[in-house]
Amino acid sequence: MITNTELEQKGNQFPNTIKNIRQEVDTLYFTTENNVILELTVLRDSVIRFRYGTRGILEEDFSYAVDPENLIGYNHLELSENKNFHIVTTAKLIIKIEKISLQTKILDIEGNLINEDEVGFHYEESFTLGGNIVKMNKRSHPGEAFYGLGDKPVHLNLRGKRFSNWATDSYAFGKETDPIYKSVPFYIGLKDKRAYGIFFDNTFKSTFDFCQERLDVTSFWAPGGEMNYYFIYGPDMSEVVQSYTHLTGKPELPPLWTLGFQQCKWSYYPESTVKGIAKKFRDLKIPCDGIYLDIDYMEGFRCFTWNKEYFPDPKRMVRELLNDGFKTIVIIDPGIKIDPDYWVYRQALENGYFCKRADGPDMIGKVWPGECAFPDYTNPEVREWWAGLFKELVGEIGVRGVWNDMNEPAVMEVPGKTFPDDVRHDFDGHPCSHRKAHNVYGTQMARATYEGVKKYVYPKRPLVITRSAYSGAQRYTSSWTGDNVATWEHLWIANNQVQRMCLSGMSFTGTDIGGFAEQPTGELFVRWIQLGVFHPFCRVHSSGHHGDQEPWSFDDEITDITRSFIELRYTLLPYLYTMFYDYATEGIPMLKPLVYFDQDDPHTHYRSDEFIFGNSILVCPILEPNSKGRRMYLARGGWYNFWTNEYLEGGREIWVDADIDCIPMFVQKGSIIPRYPVQQYVGEQVIDELKLDVYYAEDVVDSKVYEDANDGYDYKKGRYSLRNFKLRGKASDLTIQQHKGGTFETEYDTIKLNLIGLPFRIKKIKVDNVAYDLNNLDKEDKYLKLPEDFSVVHIIG
């Protein structure tokens, strides 16, 4: 007898009436009559986790993104109800769960609506692949704006667009290309001057629609896994970004040299070429701290090997480069050449460390070495083995950093340019297919690399760079934005991408300055340098197939301008390091789009070009050829032109002159900007004084300067210097107070104040209540030399 056993295709299914509620400390479980479960967890008063299960089942809870050291705890949690809703109240939020549908409304404690479900959670059962297609629809309101989502090469405001998260090798990507290298399923909503964030922690290929399909609906979904998202409330965007970064993890401080200028090319070889590049930097007195070796340093592209024809004694070369201030960084890709005589391949094969297809064979694909197998970095045993492979490269030869490329993972000459879906992964004891593991593969490779470099570079600090990343990767690695192109459009893209990455918790990011593919003109290169020196990660990288791209590759004018801006970055290293300290301790992004800086000003909601570097410097790059200047929006507040010290009130568009040797830069009034002398590399000089540029304001303004030994881990034992300054300006006097924390003793014993914008003539100065001899004051520049441990300086007009 033949029976029709075809499965019923039910289409979208929705939760129905809540039949049961259970509470376990900070977590509430709402179960519906059709066995949908909402697990609602209060992590903080402003951070709520929503996790849904179907058929009465919640999956085993596991996340690569959420930092296990994430601090949680709330001040208030109350459950109540009325006729239509169950109500969860914290100290900052009111969450209403509709009794007949499980739909939610989220309000602030004053009762203002922040976010609400449209149809809310719904799902389709995926009989073909298993599990559910999970979906969430949120109601969007007029004027609501959306930001974040990682490295998307589009305008900062995402409204009206749709994106997918599927890490993809996107050589020569363009504006609007999607997806590309990273998968960061986190966005920030801004409604009625109140900001919130949503982090959809689902590693499958997720899609976000910001009112493209329907003007009043924002939605996100994935073809597998759970509907598992975190709602993060501000109301300030700064609070949202910081809470998200705390949730997914903050980085350690990097060594200071990694914030210097770095030079890379595909490829510098043989040794004589590398040494020649290094010598040219020093001969031309262009500061540089890092030189990179691309895939050609290896023997037949085999990871952890050296081509002895090109580099006969790598340990000597690395040592000699270091003696001249250059740290060596090398590339390591995931593809391991299939060669039984190759020790890395043999070890992985014998231990079963390679990713496998569903039916058992190793995953084999073509990359640079030819046919390769690929370690499963989602297996903790494999990560430990991989970390150990860096013993010779880092611990013995002396390499100081490693960059992971091709780790989306990229595979050549196959549809989709990556692993097939049937490839299997350990997923830290939660076995799965590549559909689930794809987006985290690159991050887990970077994690394993970080563990190895950190182990063998100790007692120094590691540098790891990755091309592919998922939320939380910032705990292990910096990143760059991939294979861009030497065009003006890509200069615009670079500016947007790094701002967006900073909003998405991954501040230690930069672009290939000048473009990886094709060849920039001298003008484009110098405009890119002018932008790149304000990116946290600052590296020139190019494909050698398109010509040279060192700072001296154009003409003397371009070389001189390039040198001056790299020198500017080196003078600002203490400011940059303090920015990183704020990022590493508080989750504060190193670059801040104008909307982050002033979300209450509607003029900032669609601005993409201008950004705040750190807390106090507004930068607006020149993004078009043949420009003698540009119009830009000067954010609200008072600003000094960095180049001329002219004072301007913001909240308006202005024209700024900026010929090829200049970029529009403004410093917020009341700021204190620390400066070092120019060095050819970090540590070249003893810093004998700290210069502070003090920008007058009739106001009270706080600033800080963080310093330590520039490397090593003594700072974690209190051996750091944190100078907190409070500027108090009045019409005829200026007071600066200093409070210093930490036990680190700086090399310098003198601080030199450069007083800018004083509206009065100095008649008297007191330092710690002792009169200062005005004959020691530089009358032209108003330099004021003080002992580094001063407490109060009072300048009187």
The catalytic residues are: 405, 408, 483
DSSP classification of residue 718: T
Q: What are phi and psi of 698, to 5 degrees?
A: -85, 75
**Strands across the sheet containing 647-649:** 591-593, 611-613, 617-619, 665-668, 638-641, 647-649
The first and second tokens of residue 683, run together, are 């540590």
Q: CA 735 → CA 385, 667, 689, distances in Å?
A: 57, 19, 21
d(CA 787, CA 769): 14
SS3 607: coil
Beta-sheet pairing, 770-771 with 764-767: antiparallel
3-state SS, one letter per residue, for 549-586: CCCCCCCHHHHHHHHHHHHHHHHCHHHHHHHHHHHHHH
| Axis crossing angle, helix 573-586 with helix 556-571, rounded to the nearest 10 | 50
d(CA 106, CA 114): 6
d(CA 462, CA 254): 7
Asked if residues 759 and 731 have their Cβ atoms less than 8 Å apart, the reply is: yes
d(CA 498, CA 515): 14
d(CA 710, CA 455): 18
Asked if residues 76 and 90 have their Cβ atoms less than 8 Å apart, the reply is: yes
User: In 3D, which of 465, 442, 481, 514 has the Cα closest to residue 152?
Assistant: 481
CA angle 684/452/430 to nearest 5° reads: 145
Buried b (16+ CB within 10 A) or exposed e, 504-539: bbbbbbbbbbbbbbbbbebbbbbbbbbbbbbbbbbb
**Strands across the sheet containing 336-337:** 336-337, 370-373, 364-367
User: In 3D, which of 67, 371, 303, 47 has the Cα closest to residue 198?
Assistant: 47
User: In 3D, which of 657, 215, 165, 188 has the Cα closest to residue 435?
Assistant: 165
d(CA 276, CA 181): 33
To which H or E segment does residue 129 belong? none
According to DSSP, the residues that pair with 786 across neighbouring strands are 751
Task: Return all residues near 619 (Cβ < 8 A) that are at least 6 apart.
Answer: 531, 534, 610, 611, 612, 613, 663, 664, 665
- C-alpha count within 13 angstroms, C-beta hemisphere, residue 449: 34
Length of the chain: 797
Asked if residues 234 and 441 have their Cβ atoms less than 8 Å apart, the reply is: no
Helices (H), 90-226: none
- C-alpha count within 13 angstroms, C-beta hemisphere, residue 85: 12
